[in-house]
């Protein structure tokens, strides 16, 4: 008997709708059935959130944080279950889910549950009007539509849901219809932790049905979206009325390696940057930009590292290579690589995985491409798979040109022992996150988002919390006559 999931609306699980069967990408086995919501069911969830907003928005920050802390405890108690579901549903290795994704999700809920940095209000002075003061209040927006991607379902849901609830909003979460399981569990655990009915709702279903219903509803005040740039552009054009959007979109992130770098550490960082979760991460370091003087030596070390990566069943704790989550994504990866090779790119190394992975699963071997024309699509477009494109440079200026020669600007890595060079180069790269001598390490206290076509707005940190608010300025005059001059313009004595 496989698990059965409904949507979570108004504090209860709702099984009304068409049921879809989910299969695990690791081996194709039946995993669960999920009730897909249509536009009308999504409107029910929006109505539930709207109905809960008036009361929830009046709760104190302390009350909200107490409930977020209870949610973190609840997810912590069930962390092994969450890890298993995350890996079964996405195909990522159980080691990644157990040691990285789920612990990060829990810690990030705790960050929002304990932070003192959320400014519910601040006092200002009016330099033009001595004796008066102002209070800037950070008010909730209303109903937030949160659209999360299929690659990191729980963590991405947390990044949207936790700050939105902290700010006093109510939420309708749309997880990907490919990987909704942990997000649906999170919604149920919000209820178990004590959040009032309607404050947190989750509806699974397609973008055409659920996503469009969220962006077209006049009752939804904000949409927080993570996904592809093309989908983000469609959502913006399909929006009804005036609403706020934040969007974390695609990336083609560079890892720039200078010849003075700690090469052993840089090799590990570059491999981790692209092959974690088989490259199915928005900020994956998919472009290696390496100084020509160390190119051959560095590529050889990358190959050695790739040879050591263990292929197998992702649900085995000893496996390093994740599955590809959807068949559509696997086909896209294959097409982009084949097109690149036809256009002159060379496969420097491709990991042999035949016979090592479970039959019926979705896999693409970690691949390293060299001699890729700069204009090739595989060098310019997001592959979202385990494919690293290697380019080389001679000078720092050339490295910066290559790093910024992209429509995207989500993340980047810089590898050098020269502190001044690190500051110069990281400050010159058009990206929302730049790691120096690291890659992929995330902090809940740091804002995350993109330049250019990689998005608008920020998640995490104070900046991310403020995205879920609107400001109200209260002008206070507590007894001065400074306004008499202004009033006298219209009302002379």
Between CA 386 and CA 367 the distance in angstroms is 6
Q: Which two tokens stand for residue 243?
A: 């609403």
Classify strands 30-36 and 121-125 as parallel, antiparallel or unpaired.
unpaired
Q: How many CA atoms lie within 13 A of 150 on its CB side?
A: 25
Between CA 245 and CA 296 the distance in angstroms is 45
CA 226 to chain centre: 6
- Three-state SS annotation for 203-237: CCCCHHHHHHHHHHCCCEEEEEEECCHHHHHHHHH
* Exposed/middle/buried for residue 417 (C-beta within 10 Å: 0-12, 13-18, 19+): exposed
Catalytic member of 282, 283, 459, 467: 282
The SS3 of residue 467 is: coil
Classify strands 220-226 and 244-248 as parallel, antiparallel or unpaired.
parallel
Q: Give the other-Cβ count within 10 Å of 20's Cβ.
A: 16
Query: CA-CA distances (angstroms) from residue 190 to 10, 197, 305, 391, 421?
Result: 12, 9, 42, 47, 46
Q: Which two tokens stand for residue 89?
A: 């549903």
Q: How many CA atoms lie within 13 A of 434 on its CB side?
A: 19
- Residue whose tokens read 């609830």: 165
- Continuous segment of H or E residues that includes residue 433: strand 433-436
Q: Are 209 and 238 in contact (CB under 8 A)?
A: no
Give one DSSP letter per residue of 306-338, joined into a string: HHHSPPS-TTSTT--PPPPS-HHHHHHHHHHHH
Catalytic member of 86, 248, 283, 467: 248
Ramachandran category for residue 479: left, alpha or beta (phi over 0 → left; psi -120 to 50 → alpha): left
Q: Which residues contact 296 (CB under 8 A, 6 or more apart)?
A: none
Specify whether 248 is catalytic: yes
Q: Which residues contact 441 (CB under 8 A, 6 or more apart)?
A: 435
Q: Are 126 and 133 in contact (CB under 8 A)?
A: yes
Specify whether 493 is catalytic: no
Q: Which two tokens stand for residue 429?
A: 């790269």
Query: CA-CA distances (angstroms) from residue 84 to 193, 315, 363?
Result: 21, 8, 19
Catalytic residue list = 248, 282
């Amino acid at each position: 008997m496989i698990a059965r999931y409904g949507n979570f609306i108004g504090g209860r699980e709702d099984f009304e709708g068409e049921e879809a069967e989910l299969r695990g990408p690791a081996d194709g086995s039946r995993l669960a059935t999920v009730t897909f919501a249509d536009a009308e069911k999504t409107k029910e969830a929006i109505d539930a959130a709207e109905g809960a907003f008036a009361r929830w928005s009046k709760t104190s920050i302390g009350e909200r944080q107490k409930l977020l802390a209870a949610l973190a405890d609840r997810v912590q108690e069930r962390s092994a279950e969450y890890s298993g579901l995350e890996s079964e549903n996405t195909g990522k290795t159980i080691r990644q889910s157990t040691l990285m994704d789920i612990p990060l999700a829990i810690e990030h809920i705790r960050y929002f549950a304990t932070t003192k940095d959320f400014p519910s209000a601040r006092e200002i002075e009016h330099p033009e009007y001595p004796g008066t003061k102002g209070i800037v209040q950070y008010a909730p927006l209303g109903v937030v539509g949160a659209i999360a991607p299929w690659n990191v379902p729980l963590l991405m849901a947390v990044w949207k849901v936790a700050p939105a609830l902290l700010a006093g909003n109510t939420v309708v979460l749309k997880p990907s219809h490919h990987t909704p399981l942990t997000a649906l569990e999170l919604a149920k655990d919000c209820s178990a932790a004590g959040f009032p009915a309607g404050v947190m709702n989750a509806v699974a279903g397609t973008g055409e049905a659920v996503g469009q219903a969220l962006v077209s509803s006049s009752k939804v005040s904000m949409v927080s979206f993570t996904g592809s740039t093309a989908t983000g552009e469609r959502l913006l054009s399909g929006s009804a009325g005036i609403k706020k959007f934040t969007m974390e979109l695609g990336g083609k992130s560079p890892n720039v390696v200078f010849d003075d770098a700690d090469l052993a550490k840089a090799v590990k960082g570059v491999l981790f940057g692209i092959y974690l979760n088989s490259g199915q991460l928005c900020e994956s370091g998919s472009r290696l930009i390496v100084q020509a003087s160390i190119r051959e030596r560095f590529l050889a070390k990358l190959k050695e590292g790739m040879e050591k990566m263990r292929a197998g069943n992702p649900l085995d704790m000893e496996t390093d290579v994740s599955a590809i989550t959807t068949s559509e994504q696997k086909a896209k990866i294959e097409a982009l690589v084949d097109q690149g090779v036809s256009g002159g790119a060379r496969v420097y190394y491709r990991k042999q995985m035949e016979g090592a992975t479970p039959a019926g699963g979705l896999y693409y071997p970690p691949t390293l491409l060299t001699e890729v024309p700069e204009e090739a699509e595989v060098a310019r477009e997001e592959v979202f798979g385990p494919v690293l494109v290697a380019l080389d440079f001679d000078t720092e200026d050339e490295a910066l040109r290559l790093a910024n020669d992209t429509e995207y600007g989500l993340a980047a890595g810089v590898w050098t022992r020269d502190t001044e060079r690190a500051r110069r180069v990281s400050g010159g790269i058009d990206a929302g996150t730049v790691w120096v001598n690291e890659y992929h390490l995330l902090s809940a206290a740091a804002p995350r988002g993109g330049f250019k076509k990689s998005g608008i707005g920020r998640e995490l940190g104070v900046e991310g919390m403020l995205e879920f608010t609107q400001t109200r300025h209260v002008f206070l005059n507590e007894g001065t006559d400074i306004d008499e001059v202004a009033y006298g313009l219209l009302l002379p004595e």
